[in-house]
Structure 1
């Protein structure tokens, strides 16, 4: 079984004298977020590539950073940001909600966004979705994989009347 295409991540920083430098230039291997040990993903499985995560907003860009790709971490950070590549294999997804506002860009393929009332919207390469704390799922009814890039920022919980809608993951 083949694997999703690795993601090249280039990270900049500063030298001791304040000049801009390349701090890291590496290939990140997409991993199976549903496996216990985050094994490298195959094309028939959901695949995550965690590109970056901050611990706060605004980000502390001068602090050291930790490699998180291939680690079991929550989908969204409660006070920081997450940017993640997601590869969806053909097949249905699962419904979920995070306490975040998510900006998703379809980089390749065609994916269906489904909401809890059954509403479905098809997104194609180049389309952008702004996911504002709703319960939703992603499904891929094509024969090939779909690749999306998500930037996730923390949000306040959604309140409908007296009810607070909690994260499901």
Structure 2
């Protein structure tokens, strides 16, 4: 039986490349000379530290731009509320969204079932497996998923006949 998986993943080496690109651009830009603007990355969150709100907004645009160049969709970045840090500086956390949470999985499953396609959808942890008798039904299921208004980017992988 043909199957495929619906996942939401981010390539971590590409995140590392994008972060390094942002840091290099901060070092050479004239408007960041003498500022304490930094970007830190651990495996799940990015942390922006800027001198003021204006520099914070500029760094957000740098992050979005460099991530877009690296083919990481903006929907996988979850910008948290900016908070004051030491002195006049501002800190903001950016969460990297990976995996499909329960609510999104139920939404996708319901949409595929409402389309009356001859496929079965199984929730397997943070991904979905779609199984059907015909390849065309699976392609229709992908089209239904792409039409959904999801913030989080989805990938369709592991397509097997």
TM over 0.5: no
By percentage of residues, which structure has more strand? Answer: 1
Choose 1 or 2 for highest CA Rg. Answer: 2
Larger relative CO (CA 8 A, sep 6+): 1 or 2? 2
